[in-house]
Amino acid sequence: MPRARLARRSGVVAARLLGSAVVLLAGALTSSAQDFAAGKSSFNKCLACHAVGEGARNKVGPELNGLDGRKSGVAPDYNYSDANKNSGITWNEAQFKDYIRDPKAKIPGTKMAFAGIKNEKEINDLWAFIAQFDKDGKAKQ
């Protein structure tokens, strides 16, 4: 195959690969935005007891700002159960997902009265929403 033709063909292949990468990236970004929106919607189940975001305060349950990396039982001015204070949990994605499926099974003796969320997509979306807030309630993104 002549060099000029090979170079043209390589350029076409590279352009197609780049175009595919852009489409995949755009899809991932859109999916991420949809996850936050779905997570925010799912958080409505939590709003009666918890707050998150700027100005969040403790309610029946503690505020959830900066949850990722926070030890269980340490939100200021919240009266935790001994079970939560002594659980040894440092919240991260895996701990949260396990907990939110069945809080009383994860921390026996917790005072959280919530049956849990069983749907994996909803759990993932909820974590994406909650985890975006730093300890001051500002979105990390």
What architecture is the 38-131 domain classified under in CATH?
A: Orthogonal Bundle (1.10)
pTM: 0.75
Structure tokens that stand for 98 in this block: 């396990």
**Ramachandran sector of residue 77 (left: φ over 0; alpha: ψ -120 to 50; beta: rest):** left
Compute the chain's Rg from CA coordinates. Answer: 22
Tens of pLDDT, residues 2-61? 665 544 555 544 445 444 444 444 444 434 555 888 989 999 999 999 999 999 999 999
Tens of pLDDT, residues 57-108? 999 999 999 999 999 999 999 999 999 999 999 999 999 999 999 999 999 9
For the chain, the structural domain boundaries read 38-131
Tens of pLDDT, residues 102-131? 999 999 999 999 999 999 999 999 999 999
